[in-house]
Amino acid sequence: MNTKFEKQENNIVKVEIEVPAKEAVNYYNNAAKKLSQYVNIPGFRKGKAPRNIVEQNIGEERIKHEALESALPKIFADVIKDNDFDVVTQPYVESYDFKIGEDLKITAKLELRPEVTLGKYKDLTVEVEAYKTPDDAMQKSIDGLLAQHSSTVVVTDRKTTSADTIVFDFEGFANGEKIEHGDAKNFTLDLANSSFIPGFAEQLADRPLGEEFDINVTFPAEYHEKKLAGQQAVFKCKINEIREKVLPELNDEFVSKVGPFKTVDELKADIQKYLDTQKADIDRVNSEKAIFEKVVSEAKVDIQQSMIDRETDELIAEYKQRLTTQGFTWEQAIEAQGYDNIVNQLKEDAAVRVKNSLVIDKIAKEEKITVSQADFGAKLTELSQVYQVDPATMVKQLTQNPGVINALSQQALNEKVTKFLADNNKVNLK
Q: What percent of the chain has pLDDT over 70?
A: 98
pLDDT value, residue 52:
77
Asked if residues 223 and 217 have their Cβ atoms less than 8 Å apart, the reply is no
Average pLDDT taken over every residue of the chain: 92
pLDDT tens digits for range 228-262? 989 999 999 999 999 999 999 999 999 999 999 99
pLDDT value, residue 56:
76
> Is the pLDDT reported for residue 93 higher than 90?
yes
CA distance 79 to 95: 17
What's the average model confidence in pLDDT over 286-300? Answer: 96
pLDDT value, residue 207:
96
pLDDT value, residue 408:
85
> Is the pLDDT reported for residue 347 higher than 80?
yes
For the entire predicted model, the pTM comes to 0.75
What's the average model confidence in pLDDT over 303-319? Answer: 95
User: What domains are there in the chain, each with its CATH number?
Assistant: 2-113 (3.30.70.1050), 151-246 (3.10.50.40), 279-429 (1.10.3120.10)
CA distance 346 to 308: 10
- Given phi > 0 = left and psi -120 to 50 = alpha, else beta, which region is 10? left
Helix axes 51-58, 60-83, angle to 10 degrees: 110
CA distance 163 to 76: 68
What's the average model confidence in pLDDT over 75-103? Answer: 93
Distance of CA 402 to the CA centre of its chain: 16
Query: Which is nearest to 118 in space by CA: 289, 360, 371?
Result: 360
Asked if residues 302 and 114 have their Cβ atoms less than 8 Å apart, the reply is yes
What's the average model confidence in pLDDT over 5-22? Answer: 94
